[in-house]
Structure 1
Amino acid sequence: MNESYRLGEQSVITYLQRLANGFSTAELDVAALPTELRAIGEQLQKTHAILQQERQLLECNAYIDPLTNLGNRGGLDRHVEQLWRTGDPFTCAYIDIDHLKHCNDKFGHAEGNRYILNICRALTETMEHNEMLFRIGGDEFVLVSPTTGEAELEQRLERVRADLIEATSDDKAPMISSFSFGCSRVDPLAGDTRRQMTMDADRKMYRYKLMHRVQQPKDSDAPQHPIAEQFPCNDRVFQAISMSSETRYPFILNLDTGESQWSVNAVRDFDLPSQHPFNSVDMWLARVHPEDRDNVRSELDMVVNGTWHFHYMQYRVMDATGAYALCDCTGYRLDGTDTEPNMYVGIIINRSLADTIDSVTGLGDIHALINAIGEMRRVARKAGFIAIKVDDIAEVNARFGFDAGDRVLAESAACLMDCSRGKGRLFRSMGPTFVALFDELGPEAIDELASEIERFLGSPVLIGSLEYQPPIRVATLHLDGVDRQPVSILNELKARLKEAPQVPGTKLD
């Protein structure tokens, strides 16, 4: 083997090694190879070029929605990740097509696809050059704008929607085209999280849908049931049942009209618009946690269309305070007759209110905290903790009574909520100890919040004529992954609090 052939062979081997290690820009100088190796080199280059094209096509398909040619959910995640790295603020709009299921059921999926493309075309025609639109689900879109403000984007989408409704309200279009939307302004450098962004825009979109969704014309030949709008339940009896338990909420839903009847307690605790709201399924879904909503929607659709007659799920629902309550939801479908409507009757049990809310502070109690840590352990999610202990509560109780001690703890909880600004979940752990749990903040952000808590948590409480400033201790813990039992983590927080310096308050002689 001559030296020229050996060097050429080494060049080919090096080229293959670089390709195997993921160097897509690896090059091979075929002209410099000896004659015996040039054919092999040319074939390797052709194969590499073909593989590169296929790889690019696969990557493109992984991030592109085939129907609309827009980015898909993966494309949105990649785009938002880039925006988060730059740290520049931006506005996102969550957009949901109205009545797509009605269109598919009544006119077929081909017409449903035309409906989607019509909405897509109307949105893209009004977009700025630096904006991007993504289709993240069957009827869901997200528009991302790095320059347009929240109010300006809302106004623009409102105009697009109004034009669509006007253009399709005649007899020529199969149905009226419209969509619902919610906008949220995001600033990564200000501490906003992607979870907050999603929940804020999603919640606004569902509230908009409840208030503005266009009703489609009813078929003139559809059978009409004159008593379908009546409920087979005496209002006084229903109210008596609904008031019998603070944690249970009975409901009745007329599946033919969308009207429902809810308990007085449910109206109060979940901030429902009335005891007899319309669009009841959408109204309820608007309050379901975004991470649970798709599963709940799927099951309720099965009940509404008659596939299932029994429904049971446990999921999170937003209450009147804006917090999410864990609820057990059980219901039965009652099929209608010529004279009776299709009904869905059930009961909702508020587990959070029943078992896991501290009565003094209104925060989650130790059971809720253990459940939250256990949930993070199951999904191997990183977590940050801030533990706060209010010292001298025993002395306050002994000198001024337990009501005074409870007032100090309640005021401390209120200050803790202000300091956390909704970025974490708050709990009263044991006695005078609180724990704030964060799953999307890094160590520096958590330490910054802890410093802010040290400055502001000990706000004065008036006890008789004494303006009392509670002394506190603050400790932090950050885990790249929750891989321990909750009790072990709580014990470590307790030990850190014991070693933490006290932020002095009022001395009780």
Structure 2
Amino acid sequence: MNGSQEIFNKIAEALLIDYTSVYYVNAVTNEYVWYSEDEQYHSLCIAQQGADFFADLVKDADSVIYEEDKHIFMRDMTKENLLAQMEKGSRQSIDYRLMINGKPVYHTVRLIRGPREGDEYFILGVINIDEEVRRRQKEQELEKERRIYNQIADSLAEHYDTIYYVDIETDDYFEVSSSDVYKSLEIKPSGGDFFGESARNLKRVIYPEDAERTLPLFTKQGIIENLKKSKTFTLTYRLMVQGNVMNVRCSQIWANDRKHLILCIENINNEVSTQQELKESKRKSMTYGQIAESLASHYDVIYYIDSSNDSYTGFTINSIFGSLYIKEEGGDFFAEAWKNSEQIIYAEDKDRIQNILGKDYLISALEDKKQFVCDYRMVLDGKMTYNRMTIMWASDRVHFIIGVQNIDEEIKKEKEQVTALNRANELARRDDLTGIRNKTAYHELEEQVQESIDEGAENLDFAIVVCDINGLKHVNDTQGHKAGDEYIRSACKIICNIFTHSPVFRIGGDEFVVFIEKDSYNDRHSLLERLHSQVMENLKKKSGPVIAAGMAYFERSSDRKVSDVFDRADTKMYENKSRLKELSSLNVSEISDTGDVLMPIPKERSIILDRLFEALSVISDSMFIFICDLKHDYSRWSKIGVEYFGMPSEYMYRAGDIWVEKIHPDDRATYQQSMNALFAGEALSHNMQYRAQRPDGEYDVCTCRGIVLRDTDGTPDYFCGSIMNHNIHSHVDRLTGLRNQYGFFEDVQWALDRKKPGRIVLIGISRFSEINEIYGYDFGNSVLQAVGRYLFESAGNTGMVYRLDGTKFAIMTKIPAEEIERRYHEFRTAFRAGTSVDDKYVILDLNAGFINVDNFNVDHRTVYACLNFAYGESKQRRQGDIVEFRNDLNDENKHRLEKLHVIRASIMKNYEGFYLLYQPVVDSQTEKLVGAEALLRWRSDEYGIVPPDHFIPLLEKDPLFPELGEWIIRTALTDAKKILADEPDFMINVNLSYTQLEKTDFTDMVGRILDETGYPPEHLCFEITERCRLLDIELLKNIAVKLRSRGVKIALDDFGTGFSSISIVKNLPLNYIKIDRSFVRRIEEDDKDRKLIKSFAVVASTFGAEVCVEGIETEGMKAILQKYSVHSFQGYYYAKPLSFEEFLTWKEDHRPKK
């Protein structure tokens, strides 16, 4: 070995002190030598050598390098990479894991030296760094643990009011953290005698009743004893903190070194309160559970239904234990209920129950009721059972509770009781001879009716017919009492057969009474005429009972007792009785069917009379037609005229004498003169206007026209003509034949004047213009006729139907509100299903509102305004569901109808009580006054100050409202003009109603007021309110363009609420957009509201409009909104609405806020 080689070897051996292996690699040929240390002699030895270091490296690495490190190791250990690192002047160091005895051991290979000039070798050293890596990993894990422990400790500390760390050997302590509440106890945060100071502090602040129990547990010995069995001991006690009791929990814990104590003290007031509430809740729950199960025992099954998704659970009661258990569950109660009802509900009840078991119906039915109950019948295995269903909201108002119980026994007992009671009552109140009701029954009826009279019942209409049998004594005397009894029975049979629908009473030996009401009341005259005709027939035949009868009806203005009506009927009966006695002595040919003594009309004359009448009827145009055979004084009248004026019959003898009694006494003389002149040939025709009396005592104005037809001898033969009732004709809609709007107003006022309670329904057809556009106006008229006819037939005798303006109909009725809603649902369902008109199939949808008329201190216009409001709510907000106008009486909404009536009267009294307030509008940045909004108010001594939202929505459809709107504009401009002199940039804002905009002359009216007041139009801004958006967008656009052409500004009020605001902004030429106060109420704490305002501002700027924000109430609101593209502010932060005088004072005092 030469000298340099020896030196090299020594150097290599020295390197082996740091390296476990050294590789000597030829950079050109890749030949290499692997040197390792001989541990026995601590000398250099060759472990391996070869011809290609990098090839052998690849081969060996695959078996000895840790799998996850192979890729990186082989990438970095290429010759190219090593040379590149040497050129950079950096020492390459590669960490990897070597698999030794099946375990990965960390090593690093370092490039000790690379090829140099005259030297072509790499020198690589390998170091075992496993111990160092493991040590670093351990330190990192310990550091991570420390961070985690610190975070846990900090987090735990936040849950405690204080934490103490105590040296158990020296008693030294310090406070880790402390809450503000605990600091108020003034306990030292550190010291050298924890246990002594704890005893002193506890005695000072502990709740007296807890001292004896708690203090021993805070001594050193006490704590050590507490912790003998476990690492942690917990106790609770109470402290007095600033005069209040604070419940605390103290956790005593050994530290891990068992040389230190950790005491954690926690305020548990909320926990104690929660436990107490939970305890009480459990007690209540147990009580409620017992109550629920007791109540549930009355039902066979109870359903608990989620109204949000229709899922349900059915419960039944356990017959042994008396507790509820689940019987069934499902996903769609209403679908399954409908399906089951098809199979098991009794046919007559099916439609009603299926309607009730609709979710919408239940929600509506329970809107103002605690529960809804209905009885129905089921058919199971061919057997009918009676059931009762009780429906109510659960307390959460999300779930329905439906209880179903079998009531067969209840129905059975009711039927038995009713049957037995009816049988007993009937026996006690039946006449033994005739089987009809007796005098006792009549007196009971008399008492009931008298009670209604005493209570002032408004819908009481009845008549009494008193009958007496002529000749009964003669029959008894000549034929015996049995024949007399049969005579009575025959008379009774005649009376009962004629008055079929009215109760008949035998109140004496030969006396009967008939009580007529309801449907028969309107037919009372014709019924009595039938009785007279039968009696006349018996009289002429000399066979059958002769019955005298007299009738009287109840007159509210004069009758105070039922006996008043009876006495008048009895008097008329005796008059008739006397007349019948006279007639019984005459020949048959001398007696007419009505009891008149005359020559009967020949049959051929009767036929001519009918033919003339029918000819006249064809051209009558709804007038009352009459024709009289003058030679026999025998007449025929229109049936409708007979019924309307209460004439005895369609065919009458001496009709002229009967009719003249109907004519107003002041008109009779003139009438008689006209008729005498006509029959004397002095006048060619009769044409006269007079007043004729209706059965209710009221008079109608009529025009009667007639002519006399003479025979060949010039003798008067027939008198024929027509009677036009102006009260009917001026109040009849020619299209439908129903009473029109004038008739409606008259009837409403008539009911109000007479204090007749009832309900009025307003029904209209939606989107009717589409029908006119598609099919034409003639077809549209046919549809209106069909709807009117349907409503008329449906109302029947329970209401009066009217055709109002456009497509609206009204119904005056006395049926209950529930029945109104039910019938409307039927109407709507029928029209939605489609109806055939003129061979075309049309589908219609309706809107409806109704009002209960029970306040009579108002007029018909006020009632109609309220009715229109309810109708509008149905159309605009309730998708056609019927809406009731509620006249609730409470502190906030007193006498709503009366109040509205007074307000309407104020408009007609030169706007008495109306005044304007002005709320300032300021620049958002400078806070300088830039305008004001005019706000309407009304006040009176009786009602105080009434805000506009209490009457504007109700008045908007009233004809008086545009006049009020004009007064508002004129007053606002007059006041604003006084401000403009000092504030040249001042803008007055006036709200518009949609009914103002509907008037075709609105823009002309605005121009006229501007000219008259001399107010500059560029300083006027009209605010389009929410209800204005109901109008057609093109109409709004045309009005806005006309106003802007004069310089008037347009603002959209309440942007973001109600109807589609974006559509309005896009289509109208707006100057301003006013953002509603609801969007800024929570802007200080809600980031979403701030983003909304920012978005609104962007929308406004996109369409060239400025933004005003309403509802600014705090400094914080103002500061936030000043950051956005908002131009002006309005709200209580600056000023509430002010009177004009207050506004002027505020203007002078106002200074921009800094």
TM-score class, shorter: 0.3 to 0.5
The structure with higher relative contact order (CA 8 Å, sep 6+) is 1
Give the TM-score, by structure 2 length: 0.23
